[in-house]
Each structure stands twice: as structure tokens, then as C-alpha cells.
């Protein structure tokens, strides 16, 4: 994913493989959205080609490429992302497969640090649209060799990821305005259970009873929201994080609880900003026509289709092109 802000860098540093929150393990790579399509597309590439992935994040496409091309020792892969990446230089991406790969953080798609005509293939999964597209597509045309190929999966304004992002952003804003404010005094209450005097205070105080009642009402609201929303994951995660914060408060005191809740707030704020980025960058039909025009101007011959995953959900625009 291309980005300029630390809310993306923190996602990759926490071990996510993509903006859907999948982990870096092999099963997550196999089950990620559009993985089967990418593996099929990669399986048709010529041996020994050099591949550039724009907006690579932690290299989700690299794992699809490894899965499809384990017997291609000449394959070379470079992934770039505008965000800072952990362990940005990488041989084999943790796999025993004979594939050499590098992940480079702090690289903008609008100014790629590569010479002309140096890649056979350029790909991007929900990444290049976070850049300034005319400039980024011009760079794709510049670094791609004659006869080279391009495959881009780009966010669709009417796609399932966009619908989920809208729903999850609504939940993120509720968590920030309702759950966390109710959790803060509960964490302070939990910090008192380690002593006899603290337990007596909790048992005898109308204030702490009211704190617990308020938190219980917020949890009930969270349960209703989980049943009603198409995107419950953040609600579930946040409740688990808050439960862990309460444990830290009980074990380490009020300060430990406050710090844990501050960390949760940052996680939710980061996710809200990433969702906002996605919603701003999703492409409607006019925008995808502009992509096609920019590719033509950059010496690329593109074709565009809407693409769906196995369950029939519209996932994005699938753009393929050849360097003229």
C-alpha cells in the first residue's frame, strides 16, 4: 500500500500482510482476497523475469508469487512502498523457495529509483491508486521493458472492500467516542482489585457501581452493533484489546491501564485513517477511464474488467497492460 503517513508504517510493523489485516503466515497468504487469481496470473509469467510490486506493504503479492513459481530460480522480485517497512531488505521473504526478493520502504511510485526498461513485469494490489496516478503510471511505463506486462488490482468505488471500509469506519468512530471513554474509569477500577482496601472501595462505592453499569451498557451496545454491521471485526478486536488493558491495570496499576488504553486508541485512529485513505482513493468509472488514458500516454496498452472473488463479491478493477 502506498502511503505517506505513519498509520500505514505501523500496520506493516505490526505484522499485517495487507490492509485486510491478514497475518504473514502461509495460510493467510493462501486465503487472502484475490489470491487464487494472482497465483494463476503469476503461473503464466515467463521464467526468470524481473517483477516490481508497487505499494507492496509487507509483500503480500510476493507470497502469491512464491506459491506459484517455486521452481523458477531465476525469478527476481522487488517490492516498493512509500511507507517505512520493517526488515525492508529481504532475501527470499522467509521462504526456502529459490527466489531473490527485496522490499524497499520510503519509495514513492511517482519517482521510482530504477533505471529505464529494467523490469519485465509490474504489479500492484490495492496500492498504486494511493499515489498520484498519472505520474505513477508514467513511471510504470518508463521502468517496464518493451513487451513487458502490467497487472493492477485497484479499489472500485462500488466494491466490497469499499462497503466494508464505510461500515468499519463508522464502528471506529463509535469506539473512539463511546467504548474507550467508558473503558477508562473501568481500567482505574480494575487497578484497585489487587489490594483488600481497593476491593472494599469497589464494593462499597456508588461511584464505581455506576462506572461498571455504564460500561455494561456500552458493551450491550457493542453487541447490538456486531449483530447489525457487515464489518464487526474491529468491534470484536477492540473489546479483546480492552479486556487485556483491564488485566494490565489489575496487574500493573492505573498507569499501566492508561497506557494500554492509549495504545488501543492509537490502533483505532490508525485504522480509521487507513479506511479514510481507501475511501478517498477508490475509483469510479470516470477515474478508471483516466487510468486507461494515462496508461496509453505512457506507452502501455491496457484492458480493464471488474473482478470478483469466489463468493461473487465485487473486489475491484483488474487492469492488465502490455508495454508497446
CA atoms within 13 A on the CB side of 260: 27
**The pLDDT of residue 99:** 47
C-alpha cell at 219: 458493551
Count of helices and strands (H, E) across the chain: 12, 7
Architecture of domain 6-159+282-323: 3-Layer(aba) Sandwich (3.40)
- Beta-sheet strand order (sheet of 50-54): 100-105, 76-81, 50-54, 119-125, 144-155, 314-323, 300-308
**The pLDDT of residue 256:** 97
Q: Which residues of the chain have pLDDT under 50?
A: 1-4, 23-29, 89-99
**The pLDDT of residue 237:** 96
Query: For residues 43 and 31, what is the distance between their CA atoms, to the nearest angstrom?
Result: 17
292: Cβ–Cβ under 8 A, 6 or more apart, which residues?
A: 302, 304, 319
The sign one gets for the Cα dihedral 304, 309, 312, 314 is negative
Instruction: Work out the burial of residue 324: count CB atoms within 10 Å of its CB; fewer than 13 is exposed, 13-18 middle, 19 or more buried.
Output: exposed
Instruction: Write out the residue limits of the CATH 3.40.50.150 domain(s) in the chain.
Output: 6-159+282-323
Asked if residues 59 and 103 have their Cβ atoms less than 8 Å apart, the reply is yes
90: Cβ–Cβ under 8 A, 6 or more apart, which residues?
A: 59, 101, 102, 103
**The pLDDT of residue 34:** 82
End-to-end CA distance of the chain: 27
Asked if residues 260 and 249 have their Cβ atoms less than 8 Å apart, the reply is yes
Asked if residues 12 and 23 have their Cβ atoms less than 8 Å apart, the reply is no
**The pLDDT of residue 8:** 84
DSSP E strands, the chain: 50-54, 76-81, 100-105, 119-125, 144-155, 300-308, 314-323
C-alpha cell at 228: 447489525
Query: pLDDT of 40-80, one tens digit each?
Result: 898 888 899 999 999 999 888 877 777 777 788 888 889 99
Asked if residues 43 and 68 have their Cβ atoms less than 8 Å apart, the reply is yes
Amino acid at each position: 500500500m502506498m502511503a505517506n503517513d505513519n498509520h500505514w508504517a505501523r500496520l506493516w510493523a505490526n505484522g499485517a500482510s495487507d490492509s485486510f489485516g491478514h497475518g504473514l503466515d502461509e495460510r493467510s497468504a493462501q486465503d487472502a482476497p484475490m489470491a487464487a487469481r494472482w497465483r494463476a496470473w503469476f503461473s503464466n509469467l515467463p521464467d526468470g523475469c524481473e517483477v516490481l510490486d508497487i505499494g507492496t506493504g509487507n509483500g503480500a503479492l510476493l507470497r502469491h508469487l512464491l506459491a506459484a513459481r517455486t521452481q523458477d530460480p531465476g525469478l527476481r522480485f522487488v517490492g516498493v512502498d512509500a511507507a517505512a517497512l520493517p526488515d525492508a531488505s529481504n532475501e527470499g521473504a522467509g521462504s526456502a523457495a529459490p527466489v531473490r526478493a527485496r522490499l524497499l520502504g520510503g519509495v514513492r511510485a511517482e519517482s521510482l529509483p530504477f533505471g529505464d526498461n529494467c523490469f519485465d513485469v509490474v504489479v500492484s494490489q490495492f496500492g498504486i491508486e494511493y499515489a498520484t496516478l498519472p505520474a505513477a503510471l508514467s513511471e510504470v511505463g518508463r521502468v517496464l521493458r518493451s513487451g513487458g506486462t502490467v497487472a493492477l488490482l485497484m479499489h472500485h468505488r462500488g466494491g466490497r472492500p469499499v462497503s466494508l471500509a464505510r461500515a468499519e469506519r463508522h464502528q471506529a468512530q463509535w469506539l473512539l467516542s463511546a467504548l474507550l471513554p467508558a473503558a477508562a474509569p473501568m481500567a482505574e477500577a480494575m487497578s484497585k482489585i489487587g489490594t483488600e482496601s481497593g476491593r472494599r472501595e469497589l464494593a462499597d462505592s456508588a461511584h464505581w457501581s455506576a462506572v461498571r453499569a455504564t460500561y455494561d451498557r456500552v458493551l450491550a451496545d457493542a453487541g447490538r452493533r456486531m449483530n447489525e454491521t457487515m464489518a464487526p471485526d474491529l468491534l470484536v478486536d477492540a473489546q479483546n484489546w480492552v479486556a487485556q488493558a483491564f488485566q494490565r491495570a489489575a496487574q500493573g496499576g492505573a498507569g499501566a491501564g492508561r497506557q494500554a488504553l492509549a495504545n488501543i486508541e492509537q490502533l483505532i485512529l490508525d485504522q480509521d485513517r487507513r479506511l479514510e485513505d481507501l475511501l478517498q482513493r477508490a475509483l469510479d468509472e470516470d477515474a478508471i477511464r483516466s487510468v486507461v488514458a494515462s496508461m496509453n500516454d505512457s506507452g502501455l496498452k491496457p484492458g480493464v474488467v471488474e473482478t470478483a472473488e469466489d463468493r461473487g463479491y465485487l473486489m475491484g478493477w483488474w487492469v492488465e497492460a502490455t508495454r508497446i
